[in-house]
């Protein structure tokens, strides 16, 4: 900090601005220091920009205030205006702050200094004046372009349709459930005849007629004033009545939750409504309503004693609004499918997790064993799972990942499901590396009794960095064992694939015995190794299943120590084999 109170970098920034100042572009007018930042008033000349209808309306000179924070250059400057002529324009936050960087962490280069910043400012005005900004995709545009969240307030998840979201003001009741201290879910919107479950409580949905270009404010009275400005006193009165009635149905330790659906005029359908929400403690609601009744306009200050609201982040995952991040990836084949997963070990536990994250509708877990401490090295269990059946511990983990997936744990041998019938499953994933299971599968496929697609996977004993995968899609005459034989023939006849022969010669690389006399031999490998093989398995299998291709794969992870092709595909050929079922590594 120098004698002026500026940091060294702020002082440098001021010097750069003085050097770059020009009446033809951006000229420095004056400097203002405060405790938070250095503020530099500048005039930006706009006559050289091409102006079009619909673009940002500007004067010949626009006065801007550039705030240079004490954290500069690691934090970029901020440009503001002292008017509201640009309310509701894309990338103008709450009408006064210019959004030059959508993602400062990725877009702001500290080494560019003020020269880089002024270039960005100039380009912003060029795009804004030429109407090149898209209000339909601008971040948080209907609510002033800002993120509404109070630190410490919970997240509200909205995963279902919210009432009839159409144009015009209205108020609806919501049914909400507390999932944890930091999460609540909107589970339904209330309508005639709908009974609210006993473990839920009511909330309020307010559908607004127009945008909130200056943001949602800080008080209940801000929303009430917005309702009056957009509609009428009658709607404002209706809002007060619904708020008061709903609060009276809550206990004193509960919160009144209000969600606002704010329309974006540049979108259509339900997707045009942007959701924000706040909460008030039940005891504070009466005082908030009383104060709000005295405030009729948003440009008048709230009462000194009006309690402020806490903004809750609305996690909007409505299907017709939200797009899954994996929707174009191969794993999307598993979405809404029913899966039988056999073996919940080093590969099976991770594969089950990937499948649930991919959106399976149901998954049945089959494994007779229990969780022990040594397994935590590479299976996705925890210390608290030790001593539990694997299927029960994994089921709890999967339900914690997705409440939508129907998870059924069955502590039994996998082949029993062949006797019980697997017609309800869309696919069987065999991670057991069990001779009896392979024999049972092969017999059922050869006899034509099993038409369900089967995915079978194992890894190598030495490193757990190689994988062998077979996929059958249920067509007659194709068996898992037959594909396995084709993979062996490919590896035996191609020198570059010789390391893969370890799958058929496990004794070449002795297994690990974790505790002598107390545990069966297993493969050498870590959680990083096993999860990498599991991830590749899910992607390759879903690709084959989506294309209905029966075949086998030999693959190596990027860190495998062997100089082998990273992925080799072999199509299904030949009649069902009567040879002994293979045993590979460990799953």
Examine the pLDDT at 583 and tell me if it is beyond 60.
no
- Report if residue 141 sits inside a domain: no
266 and 160 co-located in one domain: yes
Residue range 346-359: mean pLDDT, rounded = 98
Q: Residue 579: is its pLDDT beyond 50? A: no
Concatenating the DSSP letter of every residue in 116-157 gives HHHHHHHHHHHHHHTT---TTTSTTGGGTT-----TTPPEEE
> What would the mean pLDDT of 268-286 be, rounded to a whole number?
94
> In whole angstroms, how large is the CA radius of gyration of the chain?
31
* pLDDT tens per residue across span 290-338: 999 999 998 899 999 999 999 999 999 998 889 999 999 999 999 999 9
Q: Among 174-183, 364-373, 437-446, where is mean pLDDT lowest?
A: 437-446
The pLDDT-based confidence of 413 (bands split at 50, 70, 90) is: confident
Q: Report residue 509 as tokens.
A: 């690389």
Work out the average pLDDT over 399-415. 94
Average pLDDT over residues 197-209: 94
Kindly tell me if the per-residue pLDDT of 46 is higher than 50. yes
Cα–Cα distances (Å) from 371 to 99, 323, 340, 523, in that order, read 52, 36, 20, 17
pLDDT number for residue 575: 39
323 falls within a domain: no
| pLDDT(517) > 60 | no
Asked, for residue 295, whether it belongs to a domain, the answer is: yes
| Mean pLDDT of the residues in the chain | 92
Range of the domain at 246: 155-316
Residue 3 lies in a domain: no
The residue-averaged pLDDT of 98-122 equals: 97
Q: Are residues 389 and 486 both part of a single domain?
A: yes
pLDDT of res. 271:
84
Residue 132 has pLDDT above 90, yes or no: yes
| The predicted structure's pLDDT at residue 4 | 64
Assess if residue 19 is contained within a domain.
Answer: yes
Least confident of 60-74, 213-227, 436-450, 564-578: 564-578
- Residue 445: exposure state from Cβ atoms within 10 A (0-12, 13-18, ≥19): buried
Are 180 and 95 in a shared domain?
Answer: no
Per-residue pLDDT averaged across 540-563, rounded?
96
- Average pLDDT, stretch 252-262? 97
Judged by DSSP in three states, 42 sits in: strand
Mean pLDDT of 7-27: 95
Please report the pLDDT score of residue 449 as a whole number: 86
Domain boundary among 283, 316, 349: 316
Neighbouring residues of 85: CB distance < 8 A, sequence distance ≥ 6: 57
In this prediction, residues 488-509 reach a mean pLDDT of 90
561: in domain: yes
End position of a domain, from candidates 75, 98, 133: 133
pLDDT, mean of residues 74-97: 96
Clarify whether residues 289 and 340 are in a common domain.
no
Residues 420, 550 within the same domain:
yes
Give me the percent of the chain exceeding a pLDDT of 90.
80
- Residue 576 in this model has a pLDDT that exceeds 60: no
Give the pLDDT mean for 465-487.
95
Question: For residue 581, what pLDDT band results from cuts at 50, 70 and 90?
Answer: very low
Number of domains in the chain: 3
Same structural domain, 173 and 124? no
What mean pLDDT comes out for the span 388-412?
Answer: 97
- Say which CATH number the domain at 390 has: 3.40.50.720
Residues 341, 466: one domain? yes
Same domain, yes or no, for 426 and 356? Answer: yes
Average pLDDT over residues 210-239: 95
- How far apart (Å, rounded) are the C-alpha atoms in residues 41 and 62? 10
Average pLDDT over residues 44-49: 97
124 lies in the same domain as 171 = no
Is the pLDDT assigned to residue 357 strictly greater than 90?
A: yes
Would 272 be classed as within a structural domain? yes
334 and 457 together in one domain: yes
Residue 36: pLDDT band with limits 50, 70, 90: confident
* 155-168 per-residue burial string, b: 16 or more CB within 10 A, e: under 16: bbbbeeebbebeee
| DSSP codes joined into one string, 361-410 | SEEEEE---B--GGGGGTSS--GGGTTSBHHHHHHHHHHHH-SSSEEEEE
β-bridge pairing 97-98 and 92-93: antiparallel
578 pLDDT band (50/70/90 cuts)? very low
Percentage of the residues of the chain whose pLDDT score is greater than 70: 94
C-alpha distances out from residue 158 to 185, 313, 317, 318, Å = 6, 10, 6, 6
Helix (H) or strand (E) holding 290: helix 282-293
Q: For residue 550, what pLDDT is reported?
A: 96
Q: Are residues 278 and 210 in the same domain?
A: yes
**Can you give the CATH number for the domain in which 82 is found?**
3.10.110.10
**H or E element that contains 537:** helix 527-546
pLDDT digits (tens, 9 = 90+) for 141-199: 999 999 999 999 999 999 988 877 888 899 999 999 999 999 999 998 777 667 788 89
Higher pLDDT, 465 or 166: 465
15, part of any domain: yes
Return d(Cα 533, Cα 102) in angstroms, integer. Answer: 37
Check whether residue 460 and residue 413 sit in a common domain: yes
């Amino acid at each position: 900090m120098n004698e002026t109170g500026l940091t060294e970098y702020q002082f440098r920034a001021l010097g750069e601005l003085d050097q770059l100042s020009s009446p033809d572009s951006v000229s420095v007018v004056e400097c203002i220091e405060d405790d938070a930042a250095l503020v530099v008033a500048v005039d930006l000349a706009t006559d050289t920009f091409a102006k079009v209808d619909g673009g940002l309306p500007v004067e010949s000179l626009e006065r801007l205030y550039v705030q240079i924070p004490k954290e500069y250059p690691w934090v970029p400057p901020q440009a503001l205006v002292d008017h509201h002529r640009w309310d509701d324009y894309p990338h103008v936050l709450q009408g006064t702050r210019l959004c030059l960087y959508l993602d400062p962490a990725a877009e702001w280069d500290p080494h560019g200094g003020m020269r880089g910043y002024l270039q960005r400012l100039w380009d912003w005005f060029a795009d804004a004046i030429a109407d090149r900004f898209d209000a339909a995709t601008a971040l948080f545009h209907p609510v002033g372009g800002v993120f509404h969240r109070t630190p410490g307030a919970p997240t509200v998840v909205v995963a279902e349709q919210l009432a009839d979201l159409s144009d015009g003001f209205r108020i609806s009741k919501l049914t909400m459930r507390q999932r944890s201290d930091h999460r609540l879910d909107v589970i339904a919107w209330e309508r005639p005849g709908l009974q609210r479950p006993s473990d839920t409580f009511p909330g309020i949905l307010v559908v607004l007629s127009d945008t909130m270009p200056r943001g949602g404010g800080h008080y209940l009275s801000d929303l009430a004033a917005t309702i009056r400005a957009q509609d009428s006193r009658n709607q404002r009165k209706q809002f007060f009545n619904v708020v008061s009635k709903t609060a009276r149905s809550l206990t004193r330790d509960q919160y009144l939750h209000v969600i606002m659906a704010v329309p974006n005029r540049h979108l259509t359908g339900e997707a045009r409504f942007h959701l924000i929400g706040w909460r008030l403690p039940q005891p504070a609601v009466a005082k908030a309503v009383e104060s709000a009744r005295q405030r009729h306009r948003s440009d008048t200050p709230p009462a000194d004693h009006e309690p402020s609201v806490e903004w809750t982040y609305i996690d909007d995952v409505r299907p017709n609004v939200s797009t899954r991040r994996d929707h174009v990836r191969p794993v999307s084949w598993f979405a809404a499918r029913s899966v039988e997963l056999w073996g919940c070990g080093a590969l099976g536990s991770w594969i089950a997790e990937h499948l649930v994250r991919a959106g399976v509708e149901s998954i049945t877990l089959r494994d007779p064993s229990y969780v022990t401490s040594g397994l935590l090295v590479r299976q996705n269990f925890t210390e608290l799972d030790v001593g539990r059946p694997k299927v029960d511990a994994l089921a709890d983990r999967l339900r914690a990942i997705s409440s939508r997936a129907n998870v059924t744990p069955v502590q039994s041998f996998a082949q029993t499901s062949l006797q019980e019938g697997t017609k309800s499953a869309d696919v069987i994933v065999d991670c057991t590396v069990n001779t009896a299971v392979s024999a049972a599968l092969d017999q059922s496929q050869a006899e034509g009794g099993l038409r369900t697609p089967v995915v079978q996977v194992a890894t190598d004993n030495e490193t757990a960095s190689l994988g062998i995968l077979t996929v059958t899609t249920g067509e007659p005459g194709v068996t898992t064992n037959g594909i396995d034989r084709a993979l062996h023939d490919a590896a035996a006849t191609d020198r570059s694939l010789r390391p893969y022969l370890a799958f058929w010669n496990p004794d070449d690389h002795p297994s690990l015995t974790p505790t002598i006399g107390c545990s069966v031999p297993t493969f050498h490998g870590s959680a990083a190794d096993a999860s990498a093989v599991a991830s590749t398995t899910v992607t390759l299998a879903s690709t084959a299943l989506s294309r209905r291709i029966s075949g086998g794969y030999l693959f190596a992870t990027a860190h495998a120590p062997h100089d082998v092709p990273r992925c080799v595909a072999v199509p299904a050929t030949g009649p069902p084999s009567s040879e002994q079922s293979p045993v590979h590594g460990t799953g």
